[in-house]
Protein backbone atom coordinates (compact mmCIF):
# COMPACT_ATOMS: atom_id res chain seq x y z
CA UNK A 1 0.00 0.00 0.00
CA UNK A 2 1.48 3.33 -0.95
CA UNK A 3 0.56 6.67 0.45
CA UNK A 4 0.62 9.89 -1.47
CA UNK A 5 2.57 12.67 0.00
CA UNK A 6 0.56 15.78 0.68
CA UNK A 7 1.84 19.31 0.98
CA UNK A 8 1.35 19.49 4.70
CA UNK A 9 2.59 16.00 5.64
CA UNK A 10 4.99 15.53 8.50
CA UNK A 11 8.32 14.13 7.32
CA UNK A 12 8.98 12.49 10.69
CA UNK A 13 5.69 10.66 10.61
CA UNK A 14 6.32 9.52 7.04
CA UNK A 15 9.64 8.02 8.11
CA UNK A 16 8.04 6.18 11.02
CA UNK A 17 5.21 4.85 8.89
CA UNK A 18 7.51 3.69 6.12
CA UNK A 19 9.60 1.78 8.66
CA UNK A 20 6.67 -0.28 9.95
CA UNK A 21 6.44 -3.84 8.71
CA UNK A 22 3.55 -4.67 6.44
CA UNK A 23 1.02 -7.07 7.90
CA UNK A 24 0.44 -10.38 6.17
CA UNK A 25 -2.65 -12.42 7.06
CA UNK A 26 -2.01 -15.50 9.18
CA UNK A 27 -3.35 -18.53 7.26
CA UNK A 28 -4.19 -20.45 10.44
CA UNK A 29 -6.18 -17.55 11.83
CA UNK A 30 -7.94 -17.13 8.50
CA UNK A 31 -9.05 -20.77 8.61
CA UNK A 32 -10.21 -20.46 12.22
CA UNK A 33 -12.29 -17.37 11.43
CA UNK A 34 -13.72 -19.02 8.34
CA UNK A 35 -14.63 -22.17 10.30
CA UNK A 36 -16.28 -20.07 13.01
CA UNK A 37 -18.30 -18.14 10.42
CA UNK A 38 -19.44 -21.34 8.74
CA UNK A 39 -20.44 -22.83 12.10
CA UNK A 40 -22.49 -19.76 13.00
CA UNK A 41 -24.17 -19.72 9.60
CA UNK A 42 -25.00 -23.41 9.93
CA UNK A 43 -26.47 -22.73 13.38
CA UNK A 44 -28.59 -19.92 12.01
CA UNK A 45 -29.86 -22.11 9.20
CA UNK A 46 -30.79 -24.86 11.65
CA UNK A 47 -32.52 -22.35 13.92
CA UNK A 48 -34.43 -20.88 10.97
CA UNK A 49 -35.51 -24.37 9.91
CA UNK A 50 -36.81 -25.07 13.42
CA UNK A 51 -38.73 -21.77 13.42
CA UNK A 52 -40.28 -22.57 10.05
CA UNK A 53 -41.17 -26.03 11.29
CA UNK A 54 -42.88 -24.59 14.38
CA UNK A 55 -44.73 -22.12 12.17
CA UNK A 56 -45.87 -24.83 9.76
CA UNK A 57 -46.83 -27.40 12.38
CA UNK A 58 -48.20 -25.28 15.23
CA UNK A 59 -48.93 -21.63 14.53
CA UNK A 60 -50.36 -21.82 11.01
CA UNK A 61 -52.85 -24.66 11.75
CA UNK A 62 -53.94 -22.95 14.97
CA UNK A 63 -54.48 -19.68 13.13
CA UNK A 64 -56.40 -21.31 10.28
CA UNK A 65 -58.45 -23.35 12.76
CA UNK A 66 -59.41 -20.28 14.77
CA UNK A 67 -60.51 -18.47 11.60
CA UNK A 68 -62.60 -21.52 10.65
CA UNK A 69 -64.27 -21.59 14.06
CA UNK A 70 -65.10 -17.89 13.87
CA UNK A 71 -66.38 -18.26 10.31
CA UNK A 72 -68.57 -21.23 11.27
CA UNK A 73 -69.93 -19.37 14.30
CA UNK A 74 -70.80 -16.37 12.13
CA UNK A 75 -72.50 -18.66 9.60
CA UNK A 76 -74.64 -20.17 12.35
CA UNK A 77 -75.42 -16.74 13.74
CA UNK A 78 -76.53 -15.52 10.30
CA UNK A 79 -78.52 -18.70 9.58
CA UNK A 80 -80.49 -18.73 12.80
CA UNK A 81 -80.45 -15.04 13.60
CA UNK A 82 -79.76 -13.29 16.83
CA UNK A 83 -81.73 -14.54 19.83
CA UNK A 84 -84.69 -12.28 20.61
CA UNK A 85 -86.08 -11.49 23.99
CA UNK A 86 -89.61 -12.48 24.74
CA UNK A 87 -91.48 -10.70 27.46
CA UNK A 88 -89.70 -7.38 27.33
CA UNK A 89 -87.93 -7.83 30.67
CA UNK A 90 -84.34 -7.38 31.54
- Spatial separation of the C-alpha atoms in residues 3 and 8, rounded to whole Å: 14
Does the residue 43 lie in any domain?
A: yes
Does the residue 35 lie in any domain?
A: yes
List pLDDT tens digits, range 2-33: 556 555 556 678 778 778 888 888 899 999 99
Does the residue 75 lie in any domain?
A: yes
DSSP string, 4-27: PPPTT--HHHHHHHHHSPPP---H
List pLDDT tens digits, range 21-80: 888 888 999 999 999 999 999 999 888 888 888 888 888 999 999 999 999 998 888 888
Does the residue 5 lie in any domain?
A: no
Does the residue 36 lie in any domain?
A: yes
> At a CB cut-off of 8 Å and minimum separation 6, what does 3 contact?
14, 17
Entry pTM:
0.41
Does the residue 67 lie in any domain?
A: yes
Domain that holds residue 74: 27-80
Amino acid sequence: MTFRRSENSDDGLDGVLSGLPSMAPDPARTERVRARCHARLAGRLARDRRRRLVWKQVVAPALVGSFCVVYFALMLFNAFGAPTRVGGGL
